[in-house]
Amino acid sequence: METKLVKINNRVGLHARPAASFVKLARNFESEIILKKDSKEANGKSIIGIMALGAQSGNEIEVCATGDDAKEAIEQLSEFLENLDD
């Protein structure tokens, strides 16, 4: 399993539009993708799950991936979250 802690830097957090874009990117990987915030976990390929995390600006999210392309998934998905636009 590969993991990385990422801080949400944009001012509006991980709302519907970036969540949908994240899922679109995550579905390019065969690995299982899990996002963790505090005690909550969400399937990284589920818009509803990601929205339920309630990730806001300044929150830290742990991105976890398990599978053959886990390392690449973590790199690309973490970069996506770190560079979110409002």
Active site residues: 15
Q: Tell me the three state secondary structure of residue 20.
A: helix
Residue with tokens 């806001």: 56
Q: Quick one: which H or E segment has residue 6?
A: strand 2-7
Measured distance CA(5)–CA(62) in Å, rounded: 4
